[in-house]
């Protein structure tokens, strides 16, 4: 997963849509970008009708001119394949390429992402346009790399066209070989769902109530991921063959896609589209929401895929579509804050979405740096300032690694199973939010780490502490690996409903926490959801009283090495163990029979002994991130508040962007950024 971004320093750029403007406007736009210290222009992702206006008729003139002009202005060009939006002639003449909703409604031309990955027609037309495009631009000196499609599985991440049903049937045949094995894996003996002929096998369809077979539903997500990767591979293979000197990537992060597999198999690095402003419009019903700071978790999951990565769309204006998800304008400082947030977490290239604001179409309110008038405004000036800064310091930071001693574990099986299963999925969401907040507020950098059956002990041992909140699905191999981690001295933290399901999502015929019972030192003989009617139980941990809402497991101690840290109160299982710590080999395993909340995550993190860096004393509103080269550490301080904050340096440090040396107390402006290195 070590991924290098091309180049020698962190460079900036923009998304640009030459086809949307009068050609006479291009040159001033390009010159402006260059003057701002920008290097990259990304183009082409929605331009199939420009490249192939009629079936079999190809035209690259407009983009040839746009690219040449960009080159003349000193810019490098990232070209996208245009497959996220098939042309009207294609969807009209070949409706089998369209996606279909579960209830059979066809998604028509008029938005984007309305095709399916499995139609042989669509795959054929894709092949033709990607081959033409790649060959045309294979040796163009201005082109530095290619983006495959755009934001796979955005707008829709489920597919029910006939082609998808058919492909799913083939996929299931490949996976299970026999119907007996499939019937067993999907538990079809329940509710008489047994299949007696392959022809009876479909993706989940509409039934009298909205409760898909959970094992079938889990395989559906695996199939969608595989279909997406297979489709991306079709394109990647063509590009690798015809344009072997260009790097290849794709952008965005949406559901039902194993990004690790995609990236490892097909890409040079991964690119993310970062819109932290959504943090102010999406409410997750938390008491203490992180808003834009939550994007640091999103960026951590991207870093998990690609140790260094690019941002292909960095929000730079107010956003939202014509009729939904309306967002405010970034406040003075926020564009800079969000840019360095990306860089702090591993971005080595950042493109802003977008230079100009579209004057037509569904995204006319997804503003770019400039407004409709294209006059230089405060947002553009803010970005120009960042361009200037990165010219000075972008080389120092480039290629450095994010430093973390802890990780929150993730895996695709539980992510996908938990989408349907409300007995663990929502618990994981809630617990991760609390844990991430605890790491943030204690200023302890943390990774996301994705576990699978290929994960090695060495990989895990780079961390001191792993948090794996409610991993329902745990295979024997993964259970073993987690045991080895603790055996070798690691600290593992588990929550309720861990380890009770196998890879198909069947429950083991075991007491909770199933395969993790030995490691956790406990088993569960009673448990309950907490309903709205009862008073909320709480736990007592030393002098601390912590609410135990949502779900409670009553723990039975199995191991002599297990210490009860906290017991339940205010329920029929009062005084029974709720939270335990078990010595396991040289290490430790914590097990909590509930769902983590902010207070408990905070207390537990303290209990692990992990500490923030001694060089700095920081207020809660500041994020600390550290990128390091072999011999130097860069301390990123990011102020998410609209108030000036005071920080304390416990030794003199140099601030990279201003080249000023600070010591003891100093202030950081509202939405301000500092990058400190030891003197």
Q: Within positions 346 to 365, which residues make up the interface with a second copy, using CB under 8 A?
A: 357-365
Q: How far is the CB of 126 from a second copy (least distance, A)?
A: 14
Is 271 within 8 Å of 248 (Cβ atoms)?
A: no
User: Does the active-site annotation cover 220?
Assistant: no
Strand order in the sheet with 577-584: 446-450, 406-410, 465-468, 491-494, 587-592, 577-584, 562-569, 538-541, 544-547
Nearer to a second copy, 282 or 628 (CB): 282
Q: Is 48 exposed, middle or buried (0-12, 13-18, 19+ CB in 10 A)?
A: buried
Phi, psi at 676, each rounded to 5°: -105, 145
Binding residue (CB under 8 A) for a second copy from 53, 74, 177, 476: 53
Q: Which of residues 63-82 bind a second copy (CB under 8 A)?
A: 82
Catalytic residue among 11, 52, 220, 313: 313
Stretch that binds a second copy, among 49-57, 267-275, 338-346, 632-640 (CB under 8 A): 49-57
Burial class (CB in 10 A: 0-12, 13-18, 19+), 50: middle
Q: Is the Cβ of residue 86 or residue 145 nearer to a second copy in the bound state?
A: 86
Closest CA to 483 of 470, 466, 501: 466
- Binding characters for a second copy, 555-594, by CB under 8 A (x = yes): -----------------x----------------------
CB nearer to a second copy: pick between 208 and 244: 208
Q: Report the C-alpha gap between 674 and 636 in whole angstroms.
A: 6
Residue number with CB closer to a second copy (249 or 374) = 374
Q: CA-CA distance, 114 to 87, in Å (whole number)? A: 11
Q: How far is the CB of 567 from a second copy (least distance, A)?
A: 18
Torsion angle defined by CA atoms of residues 296, 299, 305 and 309, in that order, rounded to the nearest 10 degrees: -130
Distance CA 86, CA 122 (A): 9
Minimum CB separation from a second copy for residue 154, in Å? 9
CA-nearest of 438, 436, 440, 513 to 482 is 513
136 binds a second copy (CB under 8 A): no
Instruction: Specify the residue, 170 or 534, whose C-beta has the smaller distance to a second copy.
Output: 534
Query: Does residue 313 carry a catalytic annotation?
Result: yes
Task: Find tokens 């088993």 and name the residue.
Answer: 523
**Sign of the CA dihedral 428, 430, 432, 434?**
negative
> How does strand 633-639 pair with strand 673-678?
antiparallel
CB 8 within 8 A of CB 395: yes
Question: Of the ranges 108-116, 132-140, 472-480, 557-565, which one interacts with a second copy (CB under 8 A)?
Answer: 108-116
Contacting residue, 41, 47, 234, 409, with a second copy by CB under 8 A: 47
Binding residues for a second copy, total number by CB under 8 A: 114
Touching a second copy, residues 302-321 (CB under 8 A) = 318, 320-321
E strand segments, 542-615: 544-547, 551-557, 562-569, 577-584, 587-592
List 108, 544, 586, 611, residue binding a second copy (CB under 8 A):
108
Which of 64, 131, 212, 518 contacts a second copy by CB under 8 A?
212
Near a second copy by CB under 8 A, which window of 135-143, 385-393, 457-465, 504-512? 504-512
Of 85-93, 168-176, 335-343, 389-397: span binding a second copy (CB under 8 A): 85-93
Minimum CB–partner distance for residue 366 and a second copy (Å):
11
- Is residue 58 at the binding interface for a second copy, with CB under 8 A as the rule? no
Q: Please, which of residues 234-263 interact with a second copy by CB under 8 A?
A: none
CA dist 401 to 247, 348, 433, 582, Å? Answer: 21, 10, 24, 33
Nearer to a second copy, 79 or 444 (CB): 79
Residue with Cβ nearer a second copy (404 or 494): 494
Tokens found for residue 665: 């107390």
Taking CB under 8 A as the criterion, which residues in 422-481 touch a second copy? Answer: 422-423
Q: What are phi and psi of 225, to 5 degrees?
A: -60, -45
Q: Which residue has the tokens 């579509």?
A: 321
Q: Work out whether 324 is an interface residue with a second copy (CB under 8 A).
A: yes
Of 151, 382, 415, 540, which residue is the catalytic one?
151
Minimum CB distance to a second copy smaller for 3 or for 114 = 114
Q: Is 367 helix (H, G, I), strand (E, B) or coil?
A: coil
Determine the interface stretch with a second copy among 188-196, 298-306, 340-348, 658-666 (rule: CB under 8 A). 188-196
Binding residues for a second copy restricted to 524-553, rule: CB under 8 A: 525-534
Q: Which residues are catalytic?
A: 151, 313
């Amino acid at each position: 997963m070590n991924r290098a971004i091309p180049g020698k320093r962190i460079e900036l750029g923009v998304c640009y849509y030459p086809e949307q403007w009068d050609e006479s406007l291009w040159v001033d736009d390009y010159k402006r970008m260059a003057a701002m210290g920008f290097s990259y222009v990304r183009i082409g992702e929605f331009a199939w009708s420009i490249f192939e206006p009629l079936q079999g008729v190809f035209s690259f003139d407009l983009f040839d001119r746009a690219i040449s002009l960009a080159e003349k202005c000193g810019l490098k060009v990232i070209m996208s394949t245009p497959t996220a939006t098939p042309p009207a002639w294609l969807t009209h003449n070949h409706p089998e390429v369209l996606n279909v909703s579960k209830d059979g409604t066809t998604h028509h031309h008029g938005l984007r992402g309305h095709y399916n990955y499995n139609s042989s027609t669509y795959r054929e037309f894709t092949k033709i346009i990607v081959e033409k495009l790649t060959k045309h631009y294979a040796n163009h000196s201005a082109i530095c790399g290619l983006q495959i499609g755009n934001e796979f599985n955005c707008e829709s991440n489920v597919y029910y066209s006939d082609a998808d049903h058919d492909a799913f049937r083939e996929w299931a045949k490949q996976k299970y070989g026999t119907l007996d094995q499939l019937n067993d894996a999907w538990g079809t003996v329940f509710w008489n769902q047994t299949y007696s002929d392959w022809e009876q096998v479909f993706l989940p369809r509409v039934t009298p109530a909205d409760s898909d077979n959970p094992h079938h539903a889990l395989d559906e997500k695996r199939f969608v991921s595989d279909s997406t990767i297979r489709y991306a591979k079709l394109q990647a293979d063509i590009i690798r063959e015809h344009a072997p000197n260009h790097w290849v990537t794709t952008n965005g992060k949406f559901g039902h896609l194993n990004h690790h597999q995609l990236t490892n198999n097909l890409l040079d690095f991964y690119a993310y589209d970062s819109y932290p402003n959504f943090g102010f419009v999406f409410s997750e019903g938390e008491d203490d929401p992180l808003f834009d700071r939550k994007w640091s978790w999103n960026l951590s999951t991207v870093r998990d895929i690609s140790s260094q990565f690019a941002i292909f769309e960095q929000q730079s204006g107010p956003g939202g579509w014509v009729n939904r998800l309306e967002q405010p304008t970034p406040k003075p400082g926020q564009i800079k804050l969000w840019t360095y947030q990306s860089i702090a977490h591993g971005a080595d290239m950042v493109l802003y979405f977008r230079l100009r604001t579209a004057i037509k179409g569904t995204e006319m309110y997804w503003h770019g740096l400039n407004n409709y008038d294209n006059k230089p405004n405060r947002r553009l000036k803010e970005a120009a300032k960042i361009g200037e800064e990165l010219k000075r310091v972008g080389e120092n930071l480039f290629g450095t690694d994010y430093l973390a001693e802890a990780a929150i574990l993730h895996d695709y099986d539980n992510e996908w199973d938990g989408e349907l299963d409300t007995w663990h999925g929502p618990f994981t969401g809630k617990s991760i939010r609390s844990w991430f907040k605890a790491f943030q507020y204690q200023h302890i950098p943390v990774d996301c780490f994705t576990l699978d059956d290929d994960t090695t002990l060495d990989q895990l041992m780079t961390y001191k502490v792993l948090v794996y909140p409610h991993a329902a699905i745990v295979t024997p191999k993964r259970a073993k690996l987690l045991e080895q981690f603790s055996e070798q001295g690691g600290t593992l933290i588990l929550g309720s409903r861990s380890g009770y399901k196998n890879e198909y999502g069947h429950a083991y015929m075991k007491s909770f926490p199933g395969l993790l019972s030995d490691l956790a030192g406990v088993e569960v003989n009673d448990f309950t959801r907490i309903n709205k009617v009862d008073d909320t139980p709480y736990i007592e941990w030393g002098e601390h009283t912590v609410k135990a809402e949502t779900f409670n497991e009553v723990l039975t101690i199995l191991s002599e090495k297990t210490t009860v840290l906290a017991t339940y109160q205010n329920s029929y299982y009062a005084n029974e163990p709720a939270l335990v710590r078990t010595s396991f080999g040289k290490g430790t395993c914590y097990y909590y029979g509930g769902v983590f909340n902010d207070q408990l995550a905070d207390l537990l993190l303290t209990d692990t002994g992990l500490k923030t860096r001694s060089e700095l004393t920081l207020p809660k509103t500041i994020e600390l991130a550290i990128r390091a080269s072999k011999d130097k550490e860069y301390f990123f301080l990011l102020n998410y508040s609209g108030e000036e904050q005071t920080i304390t340096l416990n030794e003199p440090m140099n601030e990279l962007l201003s080249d000023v040396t600070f010591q003891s107390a100093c202030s950081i402006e509202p939405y301000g950024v500092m990058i400190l290195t030891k003197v």
